Amino acid sequence: MLLGTILRRLEDEEGAAVALEALGDIVLLADVQAVGALHDESPGAYASGATRRFAAAASDEDWLALMTAIEHGDDPARITLERMVRWSLARDREALAGPSGGCGGGCTCGEARADHAHP
């Protein structure tokens, strides 16, 4: 299957949700649900958006790693979705932590959002 075909299929939110669930990785799905909720996105919307974000912003090294994984793997669609979602999750976590590492730096509450307040 061509990469362009895979990406077109993942543009559809429902198709991306089905593909994400089909990965069978409950930890990845939970991560997508948690980070997606911070952006008011369903898991399917997050996964679909992750593929668009990767396509628009991934470095040459990220693309090379993806192409190498596809070449050595047996399921290009699975590899593409998983790599793109993990890439997007990593960037979203970095953005949420911000330069101070989360809620004001030294906080240990575990809250990922930089804008939350303590009572």
Convert the pLDDT of each residue in 3-48 to its tens digit. Answer: 666 777 777 788 888 888 888 999 999 999 999 998 899 999 999 9
Q: Could you tell me the pTM of the whole model?
A: 0.75
d(CA 28, CA 19): 12
Q: What is the pLDDT of residues 40-79, one digit of tens each?
A: 999 999 999 999 999 999 999 999 999 999 999 998 888 9
Instruction: Write out the two tokens for 12.
Output: 């559809």
Give the three-class secondary structure for 73.
coil
Distance (Å) of CA 94 to CA 9, 35, 100, 113: 28, 12, 10, 11
